[in-house]
Amino acid sequence: MKQYWLLVVFFSLAFAGVRTYLALSVQGFSDDGAYLHLRNAQHIMKTGVPIVNDVLILREGVVISLFDYILAAGGFVMPLELAAKILPNLFAILSGIVFFILSFKLSNNWKTALFSMIVFNLLPVFFSTLNAASEITLVLLLFSLLYISLLTTKPWLYVLCLILLVLVHPSAAVFILGLCITVLLLLGEKRNLPNELIEILLFSIFFTFTVELIMYVKPLQNFGIGLLAAAFPKEALPTAFKSLTILGAAASVGIVTIIFALTTLYSALVEKKTNLYYIIGLISASSILLWFKLVPAETGMLFFGYATVLLFSAGYSSFAEYLEKTRLSNFAWLIHSILVIFILTTTSVQAASAITERLRFSPDTAEKDAAEWITQYASDMLILTVPERGNYIAYMTEKKVILDTKYHLMPDAQQKYSDISRLFSTSLEIEAVTIMEKYGANLIYSPPHIPQPKYVPSNCLSIAYNNGASVYAKSSACKVSTR
């Protein structure tokens, strides 16, 4: 047993080291939301509270996350941006260790648990989440799931983890939906649920939705139960909200992993393996939400992916036991070797592809130079840019920005998104000037992957800066008559 723990720690440190190296190898962050965490952490370090009234990006709610306080604490011992690159990957170490524990509890096999932990760390949807708060969310989720599914004698640990999870990320609602499905499965078996379990479930449901209602009361008034999907601009929905498909699932977790997971799910329901019902509940909840496009694809796939690998762990353990009882037992080592090499190779290739795509669109040195130019030469101006750079520009330049990707907290997000899309796609100078006049903007910031608009340069719009990233300035003499 000791050697397996040593291997778990070794692989966890190795994966975290690779993640940290990749995070430090790029100039910026792969997730624009990371810059909002940085701004919040800066504000917490100065005032003790997150940004309430954002003077740079107009919002109708406050972005509150426990991760911002942890990041602020890290900012007192090291540069804040360095802390934002290191801390998520430290939580990734804890994620792997907790996953190993839970996998062993479900499979009762040290080798299978170790193998599943490696597969989990290589999941593209997990490995590519550099510089984001999703790692701490998964850690708390795994702890919560561990304690609720094993019904430990210390329910206060579960309650503590759930409270922290709710304060970290709104995706806690996915976990609660999974618990509700689990209860339905247990009731379907005509089992008498322990009073302790009923109390924990009721607390989980009411606490989670009460806190999220308070935190998102304004957006809920605007959009109702379909908050996330309804708040997203229609043009952004196909990219952010994707339906769960067999091909998509196979690309995210691997075809062999999917086959083992589905086989395990079927056998668990037929053989009434209730210890797996909590995993089945979570995979069902994430699948339903993904199918109906009620959660962003990335968030839903994080839940779907790790629940699938947990089912894979239980299934692979049963497969190994069955293989030892057949005539192929003498060739078991060869069969296991082929499966392990195939699973790890395909998963690694998919993870490498996912992280390459992420890092390719991270702000680079050219964008940093452009932001520094704006800070130095632009006075009190309002900047129009694509939503994926909204938080980046606000953080780097401390200038006002119209829109970022927190659409559910943004007034008139649909109209703003449509206007910005037309700003970068139109060929008419007058239309571009009209949009800038509408918001009182003075500058347009264009990242390197956005083609230069056809109307630049022109009489009203000039190229103020261009070194990969571009800044376009509107002449103060150009006005559009509203008559």
Q: What percent of the chain shows pLDDT beyond 70? A: 87
For residue 249, tell me if it sits in a domain: yes
How does pLDDT run across 166-192, given as a tens digit for each residue?
877 777 788 888 888 888 888 887 767
pLDDT value at 358 more than 50? yes
Q: Which residue from 394, 462, 458, 467 is spatially nearest to 429, judged by alpha carbons?
A: 458
Cα angle vertex 205, ends 204, 211, to 5°? 85
Looking at residue 225, its pLDDT comes to 43
Q: Are residues 265 and 315 in the same domain?
A: yes
- Total number of domains constituting the chain: 2
Q: Are residues 307 and 396 in the same domain?
A: no
Confidence band of 133 (pLDDT split at 50, 70, 90):
low
The residue among 306 and 42 whose pLDDT is bigger is 42
Q: Tell the residue number behind the tokens 């009361």, with chain if given.
A: 217
pLDDT, mean of residues 305-317 = 89
- Name the maximum alpha-carbon separation found in the chain: 87
Q: Are residues 453 and 304 in the same domain?
A: no
Looking at residue 72, its pLDDT comes to 93
pLDDT value at 140 more than 80? no
pLDDT, mean of residues 345-355 = 86
Cα 304 from Cα 244, distance rounded (Å)? 10
Neighbours of 12 (CB within 10 A): 21
Among residues 360, 376, 399, which one ends one of the domains? 360
Looking at residue 246, its pLDDT comes to 59
Q: Are residues 388 and 347 in the same domain?
A: no
pLDDT, mean of residues 49-70 = 81
Distances (CA, A) of 433 to 423, 458, 471, 481: 9, 11, 15, 11
Among residues 360, 382, 397, which one ends one of the domains? 360
Q: Report the half-sphere exposure of 36 (CA within 13 A, side-chain side).
A: 26
For residue 111, tell me if it sits in a domain: no
Q: Are residues 308 and 204 in the same domain?
A: yes
How does pLDDT run across 386-421, given as a tens digit for each residue?
988 999 999 999 898 998 888 777 778 888 888 998
Q: Are residues 384 and 297 in the same domain?
A: no
Residues paired with 465 in a beta bridge: 471
Domain that holds residue 223: 121-360
Distances (CA, A) of 345 to 118, 129, 321, 444: 12, 20, 24, 44
Q: What percent of the chain shows pLDDT beyond 90? A: 14
pLDDT value at 345 more than 50? yes
pLDDT, mean of residues 346-350 = 87
The side-by-side arrangement of strands in the sheet containing 382-384 is 400-401, 382-384, 443-446, 469-474, 461-467
Q: Are residues 240 and 284 in the same domain?
A: yes
Cα 205 from Cα 53, distance rounded (Å)? 30
205: tokens are: 């449901």
Cα 60 from Cα 409, distance rounded (Å)? 5
282: tokens are: 């979570």
Looking at residue 144, its pLDDT comes to 75
pLDDT value at 223 more than 50? no
Residue 88: is the preceding peptide bond cis (ω within 30°)? no
Q: Are residues 253 and 300 in the same domain?
A: yes
The residue among 118 and 172 whose pLDDT is bigger is 118
The SS3 call for residue 444 is strand
Q: State the burial class of residue 60 (Cβ atoms within 10 Å of its Cβ: 0-12, 13-18, 19+).
A: middle
Cα 149 from Cα 98, distance rounded (Å)? 14
Q: Which residue from 42, 127, 129 is spatially nearest to 81, judged by alpha carbons?
A: 42
Cα 51 from Cα 89, distance rounded (Å)? 25
Q: Are residues 250 and 144 in the same domain?
A: yes
